[in-house]
Amino acid sequence: MKRAHGRFVPVLALVLGASVSASQYAVAAAQDDSNLQAEVMNKVLNKPNLKGVQAAAHDGVITLTGSVNVFDLKAEADKRTHKIKGVRGVSDEIRVAGLDLSDPVLQAKLAKAISYDRVGYGTTPFNAISVQVQDGTVTLAGDAYGPVDAASAVALVGNTPGVKDVINEVRVDPLSPMDDRSRMMLFRTIYGFPTLSKYAMDPAKPIRISVQNGNVTLYGVVDSPMDKNVAGIRANSVPGIFKVTNDLTVAGKPEKN
């Protein structure tokens, strides 16, 4: 009996000890979640334009809820929360409120804004960034001269009321002194030609010249088929160019699929 009793007591103590440890762990985990939640609220959601966002923590995962006026604020809250030490994951359930625009109206608005983005920095003619909108979700694609140009387009879209989400598929052109020389020669050859010089007056530079490793694509909108053909011919006349793809469209004519 004593032996049996002797064996029983340590087992009972072990069971009780495990129960105490589990309870202590639960208390500690709850305290960690409480501290994480407070840190997110104090360090991330303390900005006036994020006052409509709340945070809850469970097992180190932060759930963000509430609403913001533009998508960029949703992305900012998500990004900053991920940087908090101890956060294991983020469930971003923030709703983007604000304007409710139809897809065609929003797409036209964004396309115009992007066409004038970075005007004055010298890179505008060499950016060819496209915009597609479906159910408020904006997809950016095409090519950007550099990472700053690509980031600028994403920020512009993310801060536009009515945008619910942003998908960034923009490619950044590789660094190439040779391509840079080709860009300048193409610009002068196209925009300096008498019948095409009228397009140089528009700050948006509607004939976009995209260059990657000696391959050139012309994007944008021109007034006539003749202008499109002349631009293509002029681009092909530049030495050192491997290939020219003329994707210019003519105003008032539907694009070919």
Reported as a single tens digit per residue, the pLDDT across 176-219 is: 999 999 999 999 999 999 999 999 999 999 999 999 999 999 99
Q: Above 90 in pLDDT, residue 155?
A: yes
**pLDDT recorded at residue 190:** 97
Residue with tokens 């208390």, as numbered in its chain: 27
Q: Taking all residues of the chain, what is their mean pLDDT, rounded to a whole number?
A: 88
Architecture of the domain defined by 22-96: 2-Layer Sandwich (3.30)
**pLDDT recorded at residue 6:** 47
Query: pTM here?
Result: 0.79
Q: Above 70 in pLDDT, residue 19?
A: no
Is residue 1 very low, low, confident or very high in pLDDT (cuts 50, 70, 90)? very low
Q: What is the CA radius of gyration of the chain?
A: 29
The torsion of the CA quartet 159, 161, 167, 172, rounded to 10 degrees, works out to -40
Q: Above 60 in pLDDT, residue 4?
A: no
**pLDDT recorded at residue 252:** 76
> Percent of the chain having pLDDT more than 90?
71
- Burial (CB count within 10 angstroms: exposed 0-12, middle 13-18, buried 19+), residue 158: buried
The residue that leads in pLDDT, 9 or 191, is: 191
Is residue 99 very low, low, confident or very high in pLDDT (cuts 50, 70, 90)? confident
**Per-residue pLDDT tens for 44-70?**
888 888 988 999 999 889 999 999 999
Rounded CA gap, 9 and 15, in Å? Answer: 10
Residue in 255, 221, 98 with CA at minimum distance from that of residue 165: 98
Q: List the beta bridge partners of residue 91.
A: 63
**pLDDT recorded at residue 200:** 94
Report the top-level CATH class of 103-172.
alpha beta
Q: List the beta bridge partners of residue 61.
A: 58, 89
CB 81 within 8 A of CB 55: yes
**pLDDT recorded at residue 33:** 84
**pLDDT recorded at residue 150:** 97
* Tokens of residue 10, six digits: 């340590």
Rounded CA gap, 85 and 188, in Å? Answer: 52
CB 87 within 8 A of CB 36: yes
Average pLDDT over residues 151-162: 96
What stretch(es) of the chain map to CATH 3.30.1340.30?
Answer: 22-96, 103-172
**pLDDT recorded at residue 209:** 97
Neighbouring residues of 146: CB distance < 8 A, sequence distance ≥ 6: 123, 172, 173
Alpha helices (H) in the chain, listed in sequence order = 2-43, 71-82, 103-115, 147-158, 177-191, 225-236
**Per-residue pLDDT tens for 218-237?**
999 999 999 999 999 999 99
Report the residue count for the chain.
257
* Tokens of residue 116, six digits: 């004038």
The residue that leads in pLDDT, 24 or 170, is: 170
Strands 207-212 and 243-246: unpaired
**pLDDT recorded at residue 143:** 96
The torsion of the CA quartet 111, 113, 117, 123, rounded to 10 degrees, works out to 30
Rounded CA gap, 77 and 59, in Å? Answer: 19
Is residue 5 very low, low, confident or very high in pLDDT (cuts 50, 70, 90)? very low
Average pLDDT over residues 113-117: 94
**pLDDT recorded at residue 2:** 47
CB 73 within 8 A of CB 97: no
What dotted CATH number matches 177-250? 3.30.1340
Q: How many CB atoms lie within 10 A of CB 228?
A: 21
